[in-house]
Structure 1
């Protein structure tokens, strides 16, 4: 079996914005340093939580180059290189490789792209020309393509295809992917402890932006099979991780990170700030996490 490089928490880091909606690179550097100091050893640049879909191609590439320069080998780097055209995905992937990325996360074909297994297989076979390990991104509720266990096995035959990040939010389907015996990553915040128990090899976690210390602790406890400890730590995280999954995910992560001291400004338009009622609900769900995280560094 291929070597799996992306164990533990890989932070789908939020992309900071200034008051004019431009990427705030000074704040990005500060956040990366804080996350590394608390123990994060994997980053996803231009992630979904980092608003990949709302970044231009040049912005995404500049973001990846800048982030990789700051990280400087101190953590694994996964770059999202998803695009409508497969040639664009390949070009973005080659660029990420030149910047020092360790792997790429790529959505299957979307927006009227092929949905059959042969078409998806051909797509990822073409992406492999980019020369980096590929993490397939399974989020069928958003793109209309599901990576099933049988398709996962087939995709794994591509030398560069190393794993699937499952963000379906369906525990039964994720467990089926895990039962293939192939390395699988969780991308659904409310499923973290269950995914770890089922044998997931790594996590790509957007909610870790606002609670990196506590997220690392629950994963460490699970990796050491201290399940009672993991359950107690998860009780601190579960209310907020479940709430953000119910809707307005990206905006909720940005708002929660502001409360715990890892603020990245406001999400980029067309996303808007949360309503006052949702802010209050989020603050209640965070509970003791606010002070717990603020004292982390």
Structure 2
């Protein structure tokens, strides 16, 4: 869809932490500048990969404010504004709008929230009053709520609801969402080229933190329908993107980013750093991918 506001790669950027576990805003600026130089056209601040659920409300607000100021119109800005209370989601969304964000990503009600379609529709309709385009977040394995094709149609009828990010990891179910003809964004790293070929409208990609140039190139090849080029690029990415999806996702992204020069420190507790064996597995899966990414810094 030509008017879709978030095409191509939107980086679910890691939140950098210092040795004391505080947000490292200097490193955030350095990393954003590197990602912009690599051609990243969109960012998701306070993303799942950026440890949104382990940030305080004030930390998330600061992250969105500082990140949007650093980007300063040079790329699209999406802020995650998910929270348990609807009023807090609305408040966070209004704050993101005031910071200049282009849209927000919002989980459906979670932790014993409504699971019926109408309850979910009512929730997003309330959030939409805050005035920013909404990206719904389909991650049923974590939230317990699944966005089906029929629910997607009803959600997209809400003024301001523009798409859903599908992180289910099920290509068949994502394809069923895409077949509605409505915009769908892929959020499963190991499905990227298949989702693009199936017709997804954009990507929200955590694994791109450690290989931004290669991931930008893949998205560009797919946009130009150069599928042979896309397949060749994916052959370098596939081993590590598949490894990420096997478990310890956030910790693995942080560790891989350290290996390729886009480090953000260690993930915040309660997550722990990876074992030496897992880091070596990541290093092996990165293979030759690490060198060109590191050389570009």
Identify the residue that residue 267 of structure 2 maps to in structure 1. 267
Identify the residue that residue 185 of structure 2 maps to in structure 1. 185
Question: What is the rounded CA distance, in whole Å, between the counterparts of 1:184 and 1:112 in structure 2?
Answer: 26
Identify the residue that residue 111 of structure 2 maps to in structure 1. 111
Question: What is the rounded CA distance, in whole Å, between the counterparts of 2:242 and 2:86 in structure 1?
Answer: 34
Residues 43, 76 of structure 1: 8 Å contact kept: yes
Structure 1 stretches of 4+ moved >6 Å: none
Q: How far apart are 1:81 and its partner, in Å?
A: 0.1
Identify the residue that residue 164 of structure 2 maps to in structure 1. 164
Residues 2, 162 of structure 1: 8 Å contact kept: no
Identify the residue that residue 250 of structure 1 maps to in structure 2. 250
TM-score by length of 1: 0.99
Residue deviations 1:17-46 (CA, integer Å, cap 9, x gap): 000000000000000000001101100000
Identify the residue that residue 135 of structure 2 maps to in structure 1. 135
Identify the residue that residue 71 of structure 2 maps to in structure 1. 71
Identify the residue that residue 92 of structure 2 maps to in structure 1. 92
Identify the residue that residue 16 of structure 1 maps to in structure 2. 16
Q: How far apart are 1:296 and its partner, in Å?
A: 2.3
Question: What is the rounded CA distance, in whole Å, between the counterparts of 1:202 and 1:289 in structure 2?
Answer: 23
Q: How far apart are 1:118 and its partner, in Å?
A: 0.5
Q: How far apart are 1:2 and its partner, in Å?
A: 9.4
Residue deviations 1:49-89 (CA, integer Å, cap 9, x gap): 00000000000000000000100000000000000000000
Residue deviations 1:241-265 (CA, integer Å, cap 9, x gap): 0001110000000000000000000
CA RMSD, 1 decimal? 0.9
Question: What is the rounded CA distance, in whole Å, between the counterparts of 2:112 and 2:226 in structure 1?
Answer: 45
Q: Does 1:220 align with 2:220?
A: yes
- 1:199-214 equivalences under 5 Å are 199-214=199-214
Instruction: Provide structure 2 residue ranges, at least 5 long, that are not aligned to the other structure.
Output: none
Identify the residue that residue 80 of structure 2 maps to in structure 1. 80
Instruction: Provide structure 1 residue ranges, at least 5 long, that are not aligned to the other structure.
Output: none
Q: Describe the SS at the equivalent of 1:70.
A: helix
Question: What is the rounded CA distance, in whole Å, between the counterparts of 1:143 and 1:195 in structure 2?
Answer: 22
Q: How far apart are 1:3 and its partner, in Å?
A: 3.2
Q: Matched residue pairs, number?
A: 297
Question: What is the rounded CA distance, in whole Å, between the counterparts of 1:245 and 1:23 in structure 2?
Answer: 26
Q: Describe the SS at the equivalent of 2:165.
A: strand
Question: What is the rounded CA distance, in whole Å, between the counterparts of 2:220 and 2:40 in structure 1?
Answer: 12
Question: What is the rounded CA distance, in whole Å, between the counterparts of 1:54 and 1:129 in structure 2?
Answer: 26
Q: Describe the SS at the equivalent of 1:185.
A: strand
Identify the residue that residue 30 of structure 1 maps to in structure 2. 30
Give the direction of change, closer, same or farther, for the CA distance of 1:96–1:2 in structure 2 (3 Å limit). Answer: farther
Question: What is the rounded CA distance, in whole Å, between the counterparts of 2:55 and 2:129 in structure 1?
Answer: 24
